[in-house]
């Protein structure tokens, strides 16, 4: 047998090699590129905004306080996911957008861009601890085969089509903190991560970018199984069918344990960008906040570069191919916003599946087009359907006002502006870590007496606020508030972190564990 029997062609001997070189993955017949691929580096999981509650800030005068803004991406990180660990994306623009004049449009932005340096291109594994990693750069960082660096830019609006851009940290390239691989690779991860906290002297701004433990706690499986929440207590409401997840007042008041739910994010990590800004830098007049300037609105976005393909090629011939190739323009389509977040769970519980891409691509100030989703609050209807307990009737103008308007704005449901923002009153004093209550303004004691913590969601949002329970109760209305309805998951086992960036040390890859209620393994 001969591979190539047509010897008349002098080029035939090369044929097999060429066939093989041109035929990966069924290329000549059909190439099936991944389609339903998630985009974790651009997927915003949570946004937080709060007046910092570390000791230093608690002791500052109100006008000198600082506020922390946090953007989380890359959800559901299994800490032991070697050899491919978790990174930000060089092709994503990460932005914090602040509205400080109550018109719903951003007046101040913080932009973060990353650049990945592959130190050891031939090294397959992301990190190999030879020697152990004790530094983000230079001596002690040789074990990192890939390093991520970033820049932070403050962009301040100065009128129509006017922006003042100010590179922070004197334009310095900052180091992102890598994933917590394990104690042999990173013997003192806390010390390593502390090296990733930078202070900009002239402005007093602090920043951190890197891995942290996930603090958002929710019984995700139960919530998205048509609100099939777990409950071990007897129904408190006569005639309820099937029983609502009702907690006792004492259970609900206990911020030290989860009464019955399973925290789906136990033991998982996320990637965090945290920026702490003096409050006077966030107000519209650059002065310490007073009642007329005290409330800001925040939303965060991620944007990706649009690729431009040129398609007018019908008359191309072989000799023009190279010029055509040069005309394929990459990255010249500008940025396309692909994810946004202000308040928690709006995209998940309010925005219908078919509208999610559009919602994510829309600026917060254009929320008016989505108001029908707020008014016809599907999650509330689902609560009523599964529990039989009435919820407030539609249209839910209370939800529209809560999520899209500032306090004091015209309550007329036909009058805007409507903007979906996480609103924070900068003059509300921070609550000390030991006193933080996960239910914020809905907090109560073991007897059910109100003990509100006004520094929590929906006045901004802190990493340990129990937004699931708050949202379920607000959506369900008075019956649900009075009966302490929730998913039975209120806390993350690492508790409150009292220092910037206010999110806990990430679980390390070697010793990670995921705990359900009652599990005591260490």
Partner 1 sequence: MPILKRFLSSLAAVLACASALAGVCSADTAEGRPDVGSPPAILSPAEVQIGTAERRRDPIQLAIGLTRRARETGDPAYYDRALEALDDVLRSDSHNPDALRVSAWVHMGRHEFAAARRIARRHLAGHPEDAVAWGILGDADMELGRYEEAGAALQAMNDRRPGPAAYSRAAYHSELRGDLQGALELMEMSLAATGPFEVEDRAWLLVQIGHLRDLQGDIGAAEATYRSALGSFPGYHYALAALAEICLRTGRDAEAAEGAQRAIDAAPHAERYLLLADALQALGRERDAAAAEDRFESLALENTGRADNENHDLVLFYLERRPDPGRALAIARREAARRRDVHTLDRLAWALFNNGRQRAAARLMTAILQTGTRDPLIAQHAAAIRAARLRSSG
Nearest alpha-carbon partner for 431 in 47, 58, 48, 70: 58
Give residues with Cβ within 8 angstroms of 111, minimum separation 6: 93, 94, 95, 152, 153, 155
Query: Alpha-carbon distance 260 to 345, whole Å?
Result: 21
Among positions 125-164, residues that touch partner 1 (CB under 8 A) are 125, 128
Q: How far is the CB of 313 from partner 1 (least distance, A)?
A: 7
Q: CA torsion 40→43→44→46, rounded to 10°?
A: -60
Side-chain half-sphere exposure of 72, counting CA atoms within 13 A: 23
Would you count residue 353 as binding partner 1 (CB under 8 A)?
yes
Q: How far is the CB of 131 from partner 1 (least distance, A)?
A: 17
> Buried (b) or exposed (e) across 499-515, using 16+ Cβ within 10 A?
ebbbbbebbbbeebebb
Would you count residue 330 as binding partner 1 (CB under 8 A)?
yes
Among positions 288-327, residues that touch partner 1 (CB under 8 A) are 304-318, 320-322, 324-326
Among positions 372-391, residues that touch partner 1 (CB under 8 A) are none
Q: Which of 74, 144, 273, 345 binds partner 1 (CB under 8 A)?
A: 74
Among positions 25-64, residues that touch partner 1 (CB under 8 A) are 25-42
Coil, helix or strand at residue 308: coil
Query: Alpha-carbon distance 125 to 376, whole Å?
Result: 49
Judged by beta carbon, residue 212 or residue 437, the one nearer partner 1 is 212
Query: 397-404 vs 467-476: helix axis angle to the nearest 10?
Result: 150
Query: Alpha-carbon distance 70 to 212, whole Å?
Result: 11
Nearest alpha-carbon partner for 426 in 55, 57, 46, 56: 57
Judged by beta carbon, residue 366 or residue 425, the one nearer partner 1 is 366
Q: Which of 17, 130, 160, 162 binds partner 1 (CB under 8 A)?
A: 17
Query: 467-476 vs 378-387: helix axis angle to the nearest 10?
Result: 80
Judged by beta carbon, residue 34 or residue 202, the one nearer partner 1 is 34
> Buried (b) or exposed (e) across 233-262, using 16+ Cβ within 10 A?
bebebeeeeeebbbbbeebbbbbeebbbbb
Give residues with Cβ within 8 angstroms of 453, minimum separation 6: 431, 435, 436, 437, 439, 440, 441, 443
Judged by beta carbon, residue 28 or residue 119, the one nearer partner 1 is 28
Q: Which of 59, 61, 122, 234 binds partner 1 (CB under 8 A)?
A: 122
Judged by beta carbon, residue 322 or residue 450, the one nearer partner 1 is 322
> Buried (b) or exposed (e) across 451-481, using 16+ Cβ within 10 A?
eebebbbbbbbbbbbbbbbbbbbbbbbebbb
Total residues interacting with partner 1, rule: CB under 8 A: 90
Judged by beta carbon, residue 165 or residue 310, the one nearer partner 1 is 310
Q: Which of 24, 201, 202, 238 binds partner 1 (CB under 8 A)?
A: 24
Q: How far is the CB of 104 from partner 1 (least distance, A)?
A: 23
Nearest alpha-carbon partner for 401 in 442, 367, 452, 361: 367
Judged by beta carbon, residue 24 or residue 408, the one nearer partner 1 is 24
Q: Which of 58, 81, 129, 425 binds partner 1 (CB under 8 A)?
A: 81
Would you count residue 521 as binding partner 1 (CB under 8 A)?
no
Question: Which among 7-15, 211-219, 394-402, 473-481 is the span making contact with partner 1, rule CB under 8 A?
Answer: 7-15
Would you count residue 447 as binding partner 1 (CB under 8 A)?
no
| Tokens read off for 216 | 């958002």
Question: Which among 56-64, 123-131, 149-157, 452-460 is the span making contact with partner 1, rule CB under 8 A?
Answer: 123-131
Among positions 213-232, residues that touch partner 1 (CB under 8 A) are 225
Helix (H) or strand (E) holding 207, with range, is strand 205-213
Q: How far is the CB of 415 from partner 1 (least distance, A)?
A: 28
Query: Alpha-carbon distance 441 to 433, whole Å?
Result: 16
Would you count residue 91 as binding partner 1 (CB under 8 A)?
yes
| CA angle at 500 for the pair 497 and 501, rounded to the nearest 5° | 85
Judged by beta carbon, residue 216 or residue 500, the one nearer partner 1 is 216
Would you count residue 363 as binding partner 1 (CB under 8 A)?
no
Query: Alpha-carbon distance 304 to 44, whole Å?
Result: 13
Q: Which of 83, 171, 187, 242 binds partner 1 (CB under 8 A)?
A: 83
Judged by beta carbon, residue 257 or residue 310, the one nearer partner 1 is 310
Judged by beta carbon, residue 12 or residue 435, the one nearer partner 1 is 12
Outline where DSSP puts E strands in 263-369.
Answer: 269-278, 295-305, 335-341
Q: Which of 119, 124, 187, 385 binds partner 1 (CB under 8 A)?
A: 124
Question: Which among 54-62, 76-84, 199-207, 209-217 is the span making contact with partner 1, rule CB under 8 A?
Answer: 76-84
Would you count residue 183 as binding partner 1 (CB under 8 A)?
no
Question: Which among 3-11, 96-104, 212-220, 250-258 is the span making contact with partner 1, rule CB under 8 A?
Answer: 3-11
Would you count residue 333 as binding partner 1 (CB under 8 A)?
yes
């Amino acid at each position: 047998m001969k591979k190539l029997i047509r010897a008349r062609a002098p080029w035939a001997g090369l044929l097999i090699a060429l066939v093989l070189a041109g035929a990966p993955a069924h290329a000549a017949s059909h190439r099936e590129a991944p389609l339903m691929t998630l985009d974790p580096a651009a997927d915003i999981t949570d946004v937080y905004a709060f007046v910092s509650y570390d000791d230093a800030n608690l002791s500052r005068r109100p006008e000198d306080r600082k506020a922390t803004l946090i953007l989380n991406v890359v959800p559901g990180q299994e800490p032991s996911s070697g050899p491919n660990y978790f990174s930000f994306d060089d092709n994503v623009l990460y932005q914090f957008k602040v509205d400080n004049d109550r018109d719903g449009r951003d007046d101040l932005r913080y932009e973060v861009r990353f650049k990945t340096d592959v130190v050891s291109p031939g090294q397959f594994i992301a990190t190999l601890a030879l020697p152990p990693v004790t530094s983000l750069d230079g001596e002690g960082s040789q074990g990192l085969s890939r390093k991520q660096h970033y820049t932070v830019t403050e962009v301040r609006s100065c009128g129509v089509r006017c922006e003042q851009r100010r590179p922070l940290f004197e334009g310095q390239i900052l180091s992102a903190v890598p994933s917590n691989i394990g104690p042999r690779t990173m013997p003192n991860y806390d010390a390593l991560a502390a090296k990733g906290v930078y202070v900009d002297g002239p402005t007093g701004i602090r920043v951190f970018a890197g891995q942290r433990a996930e603090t958002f706690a929710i019984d995700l499986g139960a919530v998205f199984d048509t609100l099939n929440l777990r409950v071990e207590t007897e129904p408190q409401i006569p005639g309820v069918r099937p029983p609502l997840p009702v907690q006792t007042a004492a259970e609900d008041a206990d911020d030290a344990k989860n009464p019955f739910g399973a925290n789906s994010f136990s033991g998982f990590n996320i990637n965090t960008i945290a920026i702490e800004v003096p409050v006077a830098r966030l107000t519209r007049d650059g002065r310490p906040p007073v009642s007329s300037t005290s409330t800001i609105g925040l939303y965060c976005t991620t944007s990706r570069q649009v690729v431009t393909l040129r398609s007018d090629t019908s008359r191309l011939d072989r000799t023009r191919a190279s010029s055509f190739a040069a005309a394929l323009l990459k990255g010249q389509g500008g940025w396309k916003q692909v994810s946004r977040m202000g308040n928690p769970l709006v995209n998940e519980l309010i925005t219908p599946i078919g509208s999610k891409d559009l919602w994510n691509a829309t600026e917060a100030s254009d929320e008016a087009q989505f108001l029908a989703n707020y008014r016809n609050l599907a999650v509330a209807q689902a609560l009523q359907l599964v529990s039989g307990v009435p919820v407030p009737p539609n249209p839910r103008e209370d939800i529209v006002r809560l999520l899209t308007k500032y306090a004091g704005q015209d309550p007329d449901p036909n009058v805007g502006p409507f903007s979906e923002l996480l609103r924070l009153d900068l003059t509300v004093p921070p609550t000390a870590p030991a006193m933080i209550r996960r239910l914020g303004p809905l907090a109560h004691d073991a007897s059910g007496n109100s003990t509100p913590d006004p520094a929590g969601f929906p006045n901004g949002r802190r990493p340990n606020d129990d937004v699931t329970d708050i949202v379920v109760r607000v959506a369900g209305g008075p019956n649900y508030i009075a009966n302490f309805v929730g998913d039975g998951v209120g806390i993350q086992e690492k508790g409150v972190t009292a220092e910037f960036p206010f999110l806990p040390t990430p679980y390390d890859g070697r010793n990670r564990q995921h705990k359900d209620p009652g599990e005591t393994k260490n």
